Amino acid sequence: MPQIQVSELCKTFRVPEREGGLRAALGSVFRRKFKNVVAVDRVNFSVEAGEIVGFLGPNGAGKTTTLKMLSGLLHPTGGVADVMGHVPWKREASYLQRISMLMGQRTQLNWDLPAMDSFLVHAAIYQLEEAPFQETLNELVELLELGPLLKKQVRTLSLGERMKCELCSALLHRPAVLFLDEPTIGVDITMQARIRKFIGEYNRRFGATIILTSHYMADVTALCRRIILIDHGKILFDGPLPELSARLAPYKVVTIDLTRDLEGFDFGPYGELTSRQERKLTLRMPKDTVAAATGRLLAELPVLDLSISDPPIEDVIERMYHESRERANAAQPAQQTTAAGAAT
């Protein structure tokens, strides 16, 4: 059985709305208007034990709402979910003791106390025995290099240092399932790399199942073999990263460095010229023509260096989102026309 199983999961919020201005404000006191906002729309997926899955989407796509339902913070409007044999929103103690959720924009540490005090509170809440708690703490302190930070007030820590302490706190009870919502948000590149390395190491050591959301594609490509794309509450793709690239980007990116300036050369027969900076060119070529085209370019141009790569995964994902929105926009007029015909 998969460790996480989600079927037809839905969440709709009833949101108040009104026009701006004093008159609208007074009117809303007596007669409030609401609209229904579908945040998650019949989502289906499963995650095997020990997997790290990237859960990606633009702002407002439904990522955090889905994770909040799986962690028991929200009740769904419809559908079912099973995590390690538990229904998350029942919030059974036996379930909560085996999961952890870390949100990069929220803190679970006491702002005015040293981080170590928050760790001790965490141990008391989870009723951790002294010996296992100390063993886990020592291991996490070593992995995250937290030794100099334990006695400092949380308010005096940098964002990167605080995020490392947040990770330590979330993992003290050794959760079997970990929901990470933007764990590297706002931290510098060096700290992002350290956090990524730690998450990968934790997964290898303890076999934890991890669902990761991030806007940094470096997080995803470094940690996740599989990604789930969501937009407007609907799953657009669920599968390996290379499969997404093969489906949406049947081309290669060819970068050429020249030994001298080149004017008037027609690159049209070889591919699409996407950028040109002095003696450096970038071409987009269909995969089935790359070998022949690059051979001719090497023969005809003063090439200093030539490299062939897959398109950036960010571009592939953005293309999928763009196609999804185009389909949604095209469907709206058709629905309006059908509704108008029915009314007539």
Closest CA to 228 of 317, 315, 312: 317
pLDDT digits (tens, 9 = 90+) for 168-185: 999 999 999 999 988 887
Q: In DSSP terms, which residues pair with 226 in a beta bridge? A: 53, 240
Same domain, 127 and 271: no
Residue 262 lies in a domain: yes
Report the C-alpha gap between 55 and 157 in whole angstroms. Answer: 29
Please report which confidence band the pLDDT of residue 70 belongs to, taking 50, 70 and 90 as the band edges.
very high
Which tens digits make up the pLDDT trace of 118-145? 999 999 999 999 999 999 999 888 888 8
Alpha helix ranges (H) inside the chain: 22-30, 63-70, 93-96, 115-125, 130-144, 159-171, 189-206, 217-223, 241-248, 290-300, 313-343
Do 284 and 174 lie in one domain? The reply is no
Q: What is the CATH number of the domain that holds 281?
A: 3.30.70.980
- Tell whether 241 and 281 lie within a shared domain: no
What digits encode the pLDDT tens for the residues 293-311?
Answer: 888 888 888 888 988 887 7
CB atoms within 10 A of CB 193: 15
55 phi/psi in degrees, rounded to 5: -115, 100
Q: What is the pLDDT of residue 57?
A: 86
Q: Assess if residue 239 is contained within a domain.
A: yes
| 117 band by pLDDT with thresholds 50, 70 and 90 | very high
**Direct distance between the N- and C-terminal alpha carbons of the chain, in angstroms, rounded to an integer:** 52
Residue 4 has pLDDT above 90, yes or no: yes
Indicate whether 264 belongs to any domain. Answer: yes
Rounded to an integer, what distance in angstroms lies between the CA atom of residue 13 and that of residue 77? Answer: 9
Residue 203 covered by a domain: yes
Find the CATH number of the domain harbouring 137: 3.40.50.300
What span, in angstroms and rounded, lies between the C-alpha atoms of 280 and 304? 10
Claim to verify: residue 76 and residue 223 sit in the same structural domain:
yes
For residues 106 and 220, membership in a common domain is answered with yes
Residues whose CB falls within 8 Å of the CB of residue 257, separated by 6 or more in sequence, listed in order: 279, 280, 303, 304, 305, 306
Query: Residues 187, 274: one domain?
Result: no
15 pLDDT more than 80? yes
Lowest mean pLDDT among 239-248, 266-275, 282-291: 239-248
Domain contains 334: no
Query: What amino acid occupies position 335?
Result: Q
Same domain, 162 and 239: yes
Strands 226-231 and 251-258: unpaired
Of the residues 245, 271, 297, the one at which a domain ends: 245
d(CA 211, CA 208): 10
Quick one: pLDDT band at residue 344, thresholds 50, 70, 90? Answer: very low
Last residue of a domain, one of 226, 245, 264: 245
- Write down the residue that tokens 């701006």 correspond to: 20
DSSP state of 229: E
pLDDT at 332: 65
Q: When comparing pLDDT for 194 and 328, which is higher?
A: 194
pLDDT of 334: 55
Q: Is residue 275 part of a domain?
A: yes
322 located within any domain: no
**181 and 300 within one domain:** no
Q: Are 153 and 114 in contact (CB under 8 A)?
A: yes
Token pair recorded at residue 45: 């997926």
Q: Are residues 235 and 260 in the same domain?
A: no
**Total domain count for the chain?**
2
Structure tokens at 42: 């019949």
Domain that holds residue 294: 250-309
**194 and 105 belong to one structural domain:** yes
How large is the C-alpha radius of gyration of the chain? 25
Range name among 43-47, 156-160, 305-309, 319-323 with the lowest pLDDT average: 319-323
Are 39 and 135 in the same domain? yes
Sheet holding 251-258, edge to edge: 272-277, 280-286, 251-258, 303-309
Query: Cα(156)–Cα(285) distance, rounded to whole angstroms?
Result: 51
Same domain? For 167 and 302 the reply is no
The neighbour count for residue 174, using CB atoms within 10 Å, is 20
CB 321 within 8 A of CB 298: no
90 falls within a domain: yes
Mean pLDDT of 213-218: 84
Model confidence at 337, pLDDT cuts 50, 70, 90, reads low
